[in-house]
Structure 1
Amino acid sequence: MKRRNFIRISALGTLITGSGLSASCMGKIADSNLEDITDIAVVGGTPAGIMAAIAAARMGSKVILTEYHSHLGGMTTSGLGKSDIENKEAIAGLFKEFTEKVLQYYIDKYGENSNNIKLCKEGYYYEPSVAELVFNQMIAAEKNIKLLFNYQLEEAELESGKITKLGFKDRKTGENKFLKAEAFVDATYEGDVFALAGAAYRLGREGKEEFNEAHAGHIFFDFNEKAFLEGGSGKEDSRLPAYTYRLCMTDDPENSYVLTDPPHGYDRSNYVAYFKDLEEGRLSAPKVFKEGHGYYADHFDTMVRVFSFTEIPNRKYDVNINPRPLGFPFVGENYVYPESDWASRERIFQRHRELTLGLIYFVQNDPEIPEEQRNLAKKYHLPKDEFTDNEHFPWQLYIREARRLKGKYTLTENDVTLNGDAQRTTVFEDTIITGEFPIDSFPVSKVPSKDNKVLEGYIGMYEISPYQIPYRILVPEKVLGLIVPVAASTTHVAYSTVRMEPLWMGIGQVAGIAAHLSRKLQVEIKDVPVLQLQDILIKNHQILTYFKDIDRADKAFDAVQFWGTKGFFNSYLARTKEKLSYQDYNLWLSILRNMPNMPKDLSAGKPSKSVETVSISTIKKLTQALNKSGDLNLNADSWLYNKREKESEVLRGEACLAMYQLYQNTSLT
């Protein structure tokens, strides 16, 4: 029997056998007849996993998508009924397609002028059942996708450092089943695939000094004043932000599932600390009111404020559990979760479910709570028409952070914030999407600050600037054949902004396209040509570079997106309709010259220092210099906003577009 480098890993990360074993030693994976073979296997029916599967399938790859639960959609279909996105212009692609389908559902069902259309916020707010319906329809429309529910990941097989096969247990039948694929996508919240494959990962918080991050490590942070509080050491630890369930509730009596009895495991002592929060004002109004952030005036200074409500269609609410009171009981319940086996994870699911149902019961029924507050709480209940196979309770625990991959690059707080005099966050040549949500971490420990303002580790909605995400954070340091769109390579602080479902949908789209390119071009995922990947993403309406002053109607939009990853712009203003200065032209020309396959001696159209702006004729000379063979179809009409005399001044957007066409025709052909 021919020997080969082989590793099989099982039980969520336990090494079973080492390298150098023969094929006959491969155990049950090799011997099983219950094996599916596909082009790309996506593990995790999260929104990122769904979009990865769709993107790869539309490119022509056969895809198998597996999910541990019996439902698709992760948090988006399990209570998180509003899209965590502050700037709708920053994320597009398949996420935008999802919101458009949500909007169309409400239009078709209720009419364009209905109240539900207003409440769905252009498709960005939705009922869990509607989000699941839309996801199911999007998956069903793709003939190249096979969907497998109730698949519990158990083991991984590697050959020469590359994943070749994954082993699962069918949670319904108990059978062992296996997937063989050319490329794998780890779209789990927990990073289970890369952990099983032996990839390096981070768990917990980095210390402040490791990456020089201001908000790293042990921290007390005033979410109102956006200021550090006394007592934070900045030291690293293995702790995680608290997990909770995100609830869907209704104020419609006809659709209410009422908790008439204490839930299993109910213990009033878990919640009595909230009385101190109420007494000392921590359940009062926020300092700054923002629409859609779960604030209702009649809840302020009542026990109902332990929840945060955001209205969604059909008399329902996306209900978060307010992490700001010191009585918040969920901290620490999840510390062992990421590296636990499935039986232990199920117990953690149950514990969080009991704590959550207990909190609802407490605010509605505890005799120490004033009657008027109890009556206010009794307006809201679990909806009968949601989660109908789970006693109307969400099925997905909100895994805010678990393992994080150690990839080819680690995204840090310094990459997502403005530093010094910079007018733009870090520019990455291998950018694949824009992120924009504030840094937002739930409490990490139950220790309060000395002034009793906040629990340790809570960083609430610390606003940052839109930032670029490099492809390298999706690629493991060593394990081959795998891409990771969810538990990606970031620090704890950076993950607190990356961990949003709209962004994950976009990154999932990237992962699916990259996995397809890997197998089509027969290259490793780490070696997928980023320029080709970016070209496909731009054509699929992904936002690579955020600007404040340009929209998709601008003729140069795609070109500006691309050059924004290469250093053309030092701020969030593209200024496409302004005249191009010679200073910027020189910079742009030097960047163009250094692109792959471009002539290094490119100097045609070099400007005269005596003139401050560039003419159309200068750009024409540049295109002619690269068109000596006459093969390029680059007439001025294709890149000018409007016809003008050749000595007219060229606009920035026009020059951007001309150079983009030059690059595409010269480099990608």
Structure 2
Amino acid sequence: MDRRNFIKISALGTIFSGSGITAACVWNEPESEGEDRADIAVIGGTPAGIMAAIAAARMGSKVILTEYHGHLGGMTTSGLGKSDIENKEAIAGLFKEFTGQVLQYYTDKYGKDSNNVRLCKEGYYYEPSVAELVFNQMIGEEKNIRVLLNYQIEEVDMNDERVSGIVFIDRNSGDRKYLIAEVFVDATYEGDIFALAGAEYRLGREGKDEFDEEHAGHIFFDFNEKSFLEGSTGEGDYKLPAYTYRLCMTDDPENSYVLSEPPSGYDRNNYVKYFADLKEGRLSAPKVFKEGHGYYADHFDTMVRVFSFTEIPNRKYDVNINPRPLGFPFVGENYSYPESDWETREKIFQRHRELTLGLIYFVQNDPEIPEAHRNLALQYHLPKDEFTDNEHFPWQFYIREARRLKGMYTLTENDVTLQGNAKRTTVFEDTIITGEFPIDSFPVSKVPSMDNKVLEGYIGMLEISPYQIPYRILVPEKVLGLIVPVAASTTHVAFSTVRMEPLWMGIGQVAGISAHLSRELQVEIKDVPIPYLQSILIKKRQILTYFEDMQREDKAFDAIQFWGTKGFFDSYLARPKENLTANDFELWVSIFTNLTDSTGIIPAGWKPNDQTVRIKDIMKIIQDLEKSNGNKLNPNSWLYKSRDGDAAVLRGEVCMALYQLFRESNLAQPAFS
């Protein structure tokens, strides 16, 4: 490829539109025309991409973040105004920093006792424009990040099996651009970078037999009764869950952009099947009512129930398109999307935009719809103060699932659900974050079940237990210099829980830190030392292991997080203030010994007295290790409170002692900092 024809990229940072935030950097001047360089290139300005860029920049790497659209933030700034998270104690890290800044924005602007602060629900609910403002502020504070908007991916250059550069087209100027970096992060929803790099990937649904997943393949599933329906075969195929746009709407007349005439491409025949849904009760109240799931009693048994409304600040609503009616018109419109070129993708964007605006117009104006329903629908419109450069319509298409990497491990339904008599889900030694959202797949086919309850492929909010995500699902099997936090290595069923923006933000944080460590330690992405990475994540408030009985304020919290990835605990109860039993002590010491390749740390001839492990027993182990490694461990650093050596030692105390020994001794390499 001839680099001489490329146009020089400015070394100045981007001025973010609409935010008043400027990120100006003058590092990494291009070495030749049209060529730009960074330590790390993050491709895709999704929430995961943003957090990857921030995490890497804070570690000291110079980062370029590129995005196809003219705005950052993916779905979080394009209508998905509520955080898809059921358990707020399970996901923290940079996501928690984001929600904290959202809360701070509403508090500063409206006062802590205001209705808007109440509606933002501690920062987990927000207007799209506020989410964009917060993201831009977070990036603008990082001198090591430059943002390149309107950059269309064209080619990936490879040097043997390593990604060495990416060719873009500047969508504003039409110029070709070339970006070189030491490490690349594919944070696109589509998995475009790893696909162009030649990595293997999956597309569509696995069959039930491939991974022995209960909900895999062709399925009719009763979302109310959580049971399979007649016609389920479990066969795999290449179909995808439906894509839609996520809307922001308002009931404020002064801020309403009214669709006064049919939108482009309008055809009422796209929506007439909804009349059968209304008549047959599929637009009625849900069997189980849950706050924040878009349920409003006034909408039940009306045509407005083709949408799901969730209230957010400033008289606005996060509006999803309800996938439960059989008239849902979006299924199948996306099958070709992942493998299409950009021109075809733009046509698919436009088709879904027309279907979405058409649905709004239909519900508000079609004369066959009862007048009371139309009047109810006419209370809600697109807000004038959102998406002001796109006719108040979201920028980002809701790509629920596209390509999925074939990585060093494939996460399956069996990893994210309790198996047999197990009291917690699969424990991974290389865990990097906790997931927790229900399995939730939009319909995959327009074929209804035989009893007309549901469209094929819909798995609606199937509740699961918190689960661990291993680092290996982010790592391609062969392609080097690349990490993948979004279109990661999972089955279709597992992806239906992983695909949530709060979790992706956390995985993006992992990707950014790992990319930095890869270049700092001069190791491949696959060889980044996992305990070292985990220790950094714990310091940065990431949740690796979820427990029902642990508080962040507990002195042993960090240690228990770490050992929870190594097999210390077989349930969601850590019981840090309970006495450690001899059986658990032997298990823990065995795990510690195997992990550190140390021997002889259990005192010779030691036997428990009445199955009670004493403080002095732990002290003996510590002293033996101190002799061989030259480190001193202050008892006050791992005891909850000072006690006599004959006192029983607590579980949390032993976790702290072993964690400190692990981190501060020469047993773990590289040395922790």
TM range (shorter): over 0.9
Cα deviation for residue 629 of structure 1 reads 5.2
Cα deviation for residue 509 of structure 1 reads 0.2
Name 1:524's counterpart in structure 2: 524
Between 658-667 and 622-631, report the one with greater CA deviation: 622-631
Cα deviation for residue 366 of structure 1 reads 0.3
Q: Which amino acid aligns with 2:651?
A: R
Cα deviation for residue 102 of structure 1 reads 0.2
Q: Write out aligned runs for 1:332-343 (5 A).
A: 332-343=332-343
Alignment pair present for 1:280 and 2:277 = no
Name 1:615's counterpart in structure 2: 614
Q: Secondary structure in 2 aligned to 1:249?
A: strand
Q: Which amino acid aligns with 1:617?
A: K
Name 1:534's counterpart in structure 2: 534
Cα deviation for residue 605 of structure 1 reads 7.5
Q: Which amino acid aligns with 1:151?
A: Y
| Alpha-carbon distance in 1 for matches of 2:150, 2:256 | 29
Name 1:12's counterpart in structure 2: none
Cα deviation for residue 602 of structure 1 reads 2.3
Cα deviation for residue 599 of structure 1 reads 1.5
- Identity of paired residues, percent? 77
Name 1:661's counterpart in structure 2: 660
Name 2:464's counterpart in structure 1: 464
Q: Write out aligned runs for 1:358-437 (5 A).
A: 358-437=358-437
Deviations 1:522-550 (A, max 9, x none): 11111111111111101101000000000
Name 2:632's counterpart in structure 1: 633
Q: Write out aligned runs for 1:22-171 (5 A).
A: 33-171=33-171
Q: Which amino acid aligns with 2:264?
A: H
| Alpha-carbon distance in 1 for matches of 2:405, 2:252 | 44
| Alpha-carbon distance in 2 for matches of 1:200, 1:32 | 33
Name 1:3's counterpart in structure 2: none
| Alpha-carbon distance in 1 for matches of 2:429, 2:628 | 30
Aligned 8 A contact 1:194 1:405 in 2? yes
| Alpha-carbon distance in 1 for matches of 2:507, 2:434 | 9
Q: Which amino acid aligns with 2:452?
A: N
| Alpha-carbon distance in 1 for matches of 2:629, 2:564 | 29
Name 2:356's counterpart in structure 1: 356
Deviations 1:407-459 (A, max 9, x none): 00000000000000000100000000000000000000000000000000000
Deviations 1:347-398 (A, max 9, x none): 0000000000000000000000000110000000000000000000001000
| Alpha-carbon distance in 1 for matches of 2:595, 2:551 | 26
Cα deviation for residue 609 of structure 1 reads 4.2
Q: Secondary structure in 2 aligned to 1:625?
A: helix
| Alpha-carbon distance in 2 for matches of 1:381, 1:544 | 41
Cα deviation for residue 31 of structure 1 reads 12
- Cα distance change of structure 1 residues 605 and 389 upon mapping to structure 2, 3 Å threshold: farther
Q: Which amino acid aligns with 1:56?
A: A
Name 1:319's counterpart in structure 2: 319
| Alpha-carbon distance in 2 for matches of 1:351, 1:530 | 44
Deviations 1:578-628 (A, max 9, x none): 1110110010010011113x4123222875244212111111111101001
Aligned 8 A contact 1:605 1:621 in 2? no
Residue segments in structure 2 that go unaligned for 5+ positions in a row: 4-29
Deviations 1:310-344 (A, max 9, x none): 00000000000000000000000000000000000
Q: Which amino acid aligns with 1:152?
A: Q
| Alpha-carbon distance in 2 for matches of 1:188, 1:644 | 54
Q: Write out aligned runs for 1:209-220 (5 A).
A: 209-220=209-220
| Alpha-carbon distance in 2 for matches of 1:395, 1:168 | 20
Name 1:188's counterpart in structure 2: 188
Name 2:23's counterpart in structure 1: none
Aligned 8 A contact 1:582 1:607 in 2? no
Name 1:487's counterpart in structure 2: 487
Name 2:10's counterpart in structure 1: none
| Alpha-carbon distance in 2 for matches of 1:31, 1:341 | 30
Deviations 1:151-202 (A, max 9, x none): 0000011112100000000000000001000000000000000000000000
| Alpha-carbon distance in 2 for matches of 1:94, 1:605 | 46
Aligned 8 A contact 1:607 1:614 in 2? no
Aligned 8 A contact 1:186 1:483 in 2? yes
| Alpha-carbon distance in 2 for matches of 1:32, 1:351 | 41
| Alpha-carbon distance in 2 for matches of 1:147, 1:630 | 46
Aligned 8 A contact 1:207 1:216 in 2? yes
| Alpha-carbon distance in 2 for matches of 1:274, 1:479 | 47
Name 1:17's counterpart in structure 2: none
Q: Which amino acid aligns with 2:369?
A: I
| Alpha-carbon distance in 1 for matches of 2:273, 2:345 | 27
Name 2:27's counterpart in structure 1: none
Q: Which amino acid aligns with 2:62?
A: K
Cα deviation for residue 503 of structure 1 reads 0.2
- Cα distance change of structure 1 residues 31 and 647 upon mapping to structure 2, 3 Å threshold: closer
Aligned 8 A contact 1:295 1:308 in 2? yes
Alignment pair present for 1:652 and 2:646 = no
Deviations 1:207-236 (A, max 9, x none): 000000000000000000011111011000
Deviations 1:79-132 (A, max 9, x none): 000000000000000000000000000000000000001100000000000000
| Alpha-carbon distance in 2 for matches of 1:263, 1:257 | 13
| Alpha-carbon distance in 2 for matches of 1:630, 1:278 | 73
Name 2:237's counterpart in structure 1: 237
Q: Which amino acid aligns with 1:104?
A: Q
Aligned 8 A contact 1:605 1:618 in 2? no
Name 1:20's counterpart in structure 2: none
Alignment pair present for 1:512 and 2:515 = no
Q: Secondary structure in 1 aligned to 2:352?
A: helix
Q: Which amino acid aligns with 1:477?
A: E
Q: Secondary structure in 2 aligned to 1:628?
A: helix
Aligned 8 A contact 1:606 1:618 in 2? no
| Alpha-carbon distance in 2 for matches of 1:277, 1:427 | 43
Q: Which amino acid aligns with 1:608?
A: K
Aligned 8 A contact 1:43 1:184 in 2? yes
Q: Secondary structure in 1 aligned to 2:75?
A: helix
Structure-1-length-normalised TM-score: 0.95
| Alpha-carbon distance in 2 for matches of 1:592, 1:474 | 26
Q: Secondary structure in 1 aligned to 2:627?
A: coil
Name 1:550's counterpart in structure 2: 550
Q: Which amino acid aligns with 1:211?
A: F
Name 1:501's counterpart in structure 2: 501
| Alpha-carbon distance in 2 for matches of 1:271, 1:124 | 33
Name 1:25's counterpart in structure 2: none
Aligned 8 A contact 1:34 1:177 in 2? yes
| Alpha-carbon distance in 2 for matches of 1:605, 1:364 | 80
| Alpha-carbon distance in 2 for matches of 1:475, 1:31 | 30
Cα deviation for residue 33 of structure 1 reads 2.1
Q: Secondary structure in 1 aligned to 2:630?
A: coil
Aligned 8 A contact 1:605 1:622 in 2? no
Q: Secondary structure in 2 aligned to 1:637?
A: helix
Name 1:24's counterpart in structure 2: none
| Alpha-carbon distance in 1 for matches of 2:629, 2:91 | 39
| Alpha-carbon distance in 2 for matches of 1:654, 1:479 | 42
Name 1:14's counterpart in structure 2: none
Residue segments in structure 1 that go unaligned for 5+ positions in a row: 1-5, 9-29
| Alpha-carbon distance in 1 for matches of 2:633, 2:225 | 54
Cα deviation for residue 290 of structure 1 reads 0.2
| RMSD of aligned residue pairs (Cα, Å) | 1.3
Q: Which amino acid aligns with 1:619?
A: I
| Alpha-carbon distance in 2 for matches of 1:52, 1:660 | 27
| Alpha-carbon distance in 2 for matches of 1:159, 1:276 | 57
Q: Secondary structure in 1 aligned to 2:626?
A: coil
Q: Secondary structure in 1 aligned to 2:230?
A: coil
| Alpha-carbon distance in 2 for matches of 1:136, 1:451 | 49
Name 2:299's counterpart in structure 1: 299
